[in-house]
């Protein structure tokens, strides 16, 4: 399976970032059952590696499972050992990129400026994550398409049901959906219905 191709086909990645890990698997199950099959568990989430390992055991190869907020090589290696099949970095780290490239492992590297985007991609990153997208703005993002027309781009930060279609129409290949999909308030209140509704709205917004 071509992981990068599948991620692009799915258009969205559910970014799981929480301050608690209790019952988090059950919330991720709701997201997957709703039809969102690309999941990124950030390493800042408590017990993130255990969650990744459990998700891999539960779903085997039926979902695309990645680790996010990876900032160093040790974190990347531990995430891979836990079962992640792609790595998302918020920054540019050439050591991590070189390691993953040499091992033919999918890497989404963080960048913001045109120079960072160019350097990350030509260093070997498969896709570039631009964060925060809401700070960049759609108008400026369109300008980036002229500079980097063939570089696969993932946008995160401030992506909602109201603007997701516009971001895709502006040239984004993939959108990372975080707090507008799942957040600590939903988790702490065990509001599964809200999560189901959010998932449905996100999927409808990108059709």
The residue ranges of every structural domain in the chain are 3-205
Band of residue 15 on the pLDDT scale cut at 50, 70, 90: very high
User: What's the pLDDT score for residue 146?
Assistant: 82
Instruction: Specify the pTM.
Output: 0.95
pLDDT > 90: what percent of the chain?
91
Asked whether residue 58 carries a pLDDT value surpassing 80, the answer given is: yes
Band of residue 1 on the pLDDT scale cut at 50, 70, 90: low
Residue (of 11, 16, 7, 35) closest to 172 by Cα position: 11
Band of residue 41 on the pLDDT scale cut at 50, 70, 90: very high
Asked whether residue 78 carries a pLDDT value surpassing 90, the answer given is: yes
Residues 179, 116, 52, CA angle at the centre, nearest 5°?
Answer: 40
Q: Which residues are catalytic?
A: 40, 129
Class of CATH domain 3-205: alpha beta
Question: Mean per-residue pLDDT for 53-73?
Answer: 98
User: What's the pLDDT score for residue 149?
Assistant: 79
| pLDDT mean across residues, the chain | 95
Question: Mean per-residue pLDDT for 160-180?
Answer: 96
* Residue whose pair of structure tokens reads 């631009």 in the numeric block: 130
Question: Mean per-residue pLDDT for 63-79?
Answer: 98
Residue (of 40, 32, 31, 45) closest to 13 by Cα position: 40
Integer Cα distance of 15 and 155 in angstroms: 12
Per-residue pLDDT tens digits for 107-130: 999 999 889 999 999 999 999 999
User: What's the pLDDT score for residue 45?
Assistant: 98
């Amino acid at each position: 399976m071509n992981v990068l191709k599948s991620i692009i086909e799915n258009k969205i990645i559910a970014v799981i970032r929480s301050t608690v890990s209790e019952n988090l698997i059950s919330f991720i199950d709701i997201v997957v059952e709703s039809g969102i099959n690309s999941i990124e568990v950030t390493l800042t989430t408590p017990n993130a590696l255990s969650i990744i390992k459990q998700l891999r055991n539960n779903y085997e190869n039926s979902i695309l499972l990645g680790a996010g907020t990876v900032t160093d090589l040790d974190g990347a290696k531990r995430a891979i050992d836990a079962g992640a099949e792609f790595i998302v970095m918020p920054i540019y780290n050439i050591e991590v990129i070189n390691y993953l490239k040499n091992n033919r492992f999918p890497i989404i590297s963080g960048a913001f400026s045109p120079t960072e985007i160019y350097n990350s991609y030509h260093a070997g990153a498969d896709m570039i994550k631009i964060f925060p997208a809401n700070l960049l703005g759609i108008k400026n993002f369109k300008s980036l398409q002229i500079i980097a027309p063939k570089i696969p781009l993932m946008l995160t930060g401030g992506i909602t049901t109201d603007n997701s279609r516009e971001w895709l129409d502006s040239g984004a290949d993939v959108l990372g959906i975080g707090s507008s999909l799942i957040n600590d308030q939903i988790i702490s209140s065990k509001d599964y219905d809200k999560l189901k509704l959010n998932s449905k709205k996100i999927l409808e917004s990108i059709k």
